[in-house]
Amino acid sequence: MSLIDTITRTMLVKPHAAGYPFIIGSIVATVIFLILWKPLGVLFLFLTLFILYFFRDPIRVVPQQDGLIIAPADGRIISITENQKLPDGLDAEVNEDENFTKISIFLSVLDVHVNRVPVAGEVVKTFYYEGKFLNAELDKASLENERSVALIKTADDKFVGVTQIAGLIARRIITDLSEGDAVQTGHRYGLIRFGSRSDVYIPSATAPLVCVDQRTLGGETVLADLNTSHEKREGEKI
């Protein structure tokens, strides 16, 4: 891929609607400061470019196959934890003895922060927690940070949970999911501003098709397949 193609595909893309107030405000400030004091105006120009980059919303090619669980976010897989219960607020929807595997994805400030639906089905439960703003890479961030969670029931009556978690810098979670919504795999459903984490809960009987430290692309990377059985995968840094 050429340098021009790289810039076009990663930077010159339409921003998410949630970014428009920040983008417009930054552009106005840039113009004003360029008139009043050029050095500060140049600084705000770079800030504007960063905000445009942060709120970018690239088109993704979503794999089309029933039962696939797709990464809800760009980032790095920081943990895969077995024998987990669903977050409080969602657990009442499933049998109390049902366990899940939690796949945690950390989004740096440079990653795309648009979130996508991990699996097709019906949103049967949503819940929002007011919490702390700890480093999203910490394990306890899943339990203590501000977060929004949703439980999706597939056509085969299987449950998949997805969580948007605020991070050290993030202060705003945007989600468009409501109980009763019919959702499709890979469709946009929200955004977390400025650094965050996303947890996906898959049935314990379903082996993850990814491994720790692997990079994900929201809407494209396959995390698991509900309709086939695989062995748990291991990764090797080469």
Active site residues: 196
> What is the full DSSP assignment across 148-202?
EEEEEE-TTS-EEEEEEEE-SS---EEE---TT-EE-TT-EEEEESSSEEEEEEE
Gap between the Cα atoms of 43 and 38, Å rounded:
9
> What is the full DSSP assignment across 105-132?
EEE-TTS--EEE-SS-EEEEEEEEE--B
Gap between the Cα atoms of 199 and 71, Å rounded:
10
Per-residue buried b or exposed e for 116-129, using 16+ beta carbons within 10 Å of the residue's own CB? bbbbbbebbbbbeb
Structure tokens at 35: 């008139």
Strand partners, 80: 103
8 A C-beta contact, residue 117 and residue 189: yes
